[in-house]
Amino acid sequence: MELSYKRLSFIWLELWSAKQHATSFNTTRATYLSPRISALCYVWAFLTLAWIPVDVYLLGIQSHSLVTLRVILAFTVFIIGQKASKHGTLPAGRFAIAAFVVSVNCFYLFANSTLDYQHSVTSTTYFYTLLPFVHIVLLAIFPLTIRESLSFMAFTAAVQLHVDASSGALFKLEEMAIYWLQTVVGLMVIWAQTSKVHMMLRLYRHATLDPLTGVYNKRMLLTLAKRDFENTRFKSRPYSVLIMDLDRFKRVNDRYGHFAGDVVLKAFSDSVQQTLRKSDIFGRFGGEEFILFLPHCSTTNAKYVANRIMQNIQDLDIAVEGLASPINITTSIGIATSESFEDDFSTLLEKADAALYCAKDKGRNCALVFDAKAKESKDNCRRPWIEFAS
């Protein structure tokens, strides 16, 4: 029961705000938002201009100001659509949606002001009073969190209430019915938006996370790390990598079974995650091998991180259901650091892997640093180019 409550609380927090989302997921959602924002802006710009003949036919000379407003709105949302297509970040996407919401609501406000706030059901301008309803429905196409959705809808509601108050229709019975209908539709829109976010989160985890440990899988780990490495190298800052391997893990599986092995892997990954910074990238490379990427981290700091990880792992008492005593494990770590443009991403991984190979050859339960100045292979791991982390 407690586990179920915690799970529901976690889901609620994920749907409420993007602060609970991983950076890579925010990037994924941004790539989903960007083309949809652009498409909506382009379509809305076209429909805005296409309605001009209707205004001219129904309103005659009164439509001249509305035509000007429509041209301004079409131009504005078209520019928003162009900007949204060029910037693929989540903040840029949210800003584009906010700009679109503000633009269409400003048009609604100025149009009703131009029409002297006519609010009669029999009036030919009555469709202008229904625009907030359309604005709310449009948001259903975006995967938004509850907080994002409520903020956009609140602005639309505030503008509508101002227009209704100015027209004297705020407390009319038919207006109450419209408010009730819009509230129901608004809740359905929020449901649709958060359902999209929840579905994207599930698909994202399935595609990018290791199902056992919950850390990045190999594909996502290397994708994120390579991009991060290139950005760091462009700024000429050090970048370190730790390749970790559980010592004699096969014995754990053979002696206690694969269920115990899974518990050990989960405990190991949980322990390592407790030492991470927000900018670090950690994942399972395969089997009992894990990789930790440390941006802006020198060799000295990488040694400190490696020693802290080893100490935490040694202190673990991993309880497994059905076993009388806990399981204790150790890990071997290979360290490599790139501090210039000489190393590419693959070379850095190869050096860390060579250092790991030598750490195991030295007797395991140790961290070794690859000396980038030496040109030795991992077959010569007993030579001075490997340095103990201390």
Distance CA 368, CA 310 (A): 12
Q: Which of 50, 48, 135 is nearest to 98 (CA)?
A: 135
Residues 6+ apart with CB under 8 A from 181: 133
DSSP 61: G
Using DSSP, state whether 116 is helix, strand or coil.
coil
- Residues recognised as catalytic: 288
Side chain identity at 317, as an amino acid letter? D
DSSP letter for each residue of 347-380: HHHHHHHHHHHHHHHTTSS-EEEE-TT----GGG
41, two tokens: 């802006």
315, two tokens: 């202190």
Q: Where are the alpha helices (DSSP H) in the chain?
A: 2-16, 23-50, 52-59, 64-86, 90-114, 131-138, 146-167, 173-208, 218-234, 249-256, 258-273, 299-314, 345-361
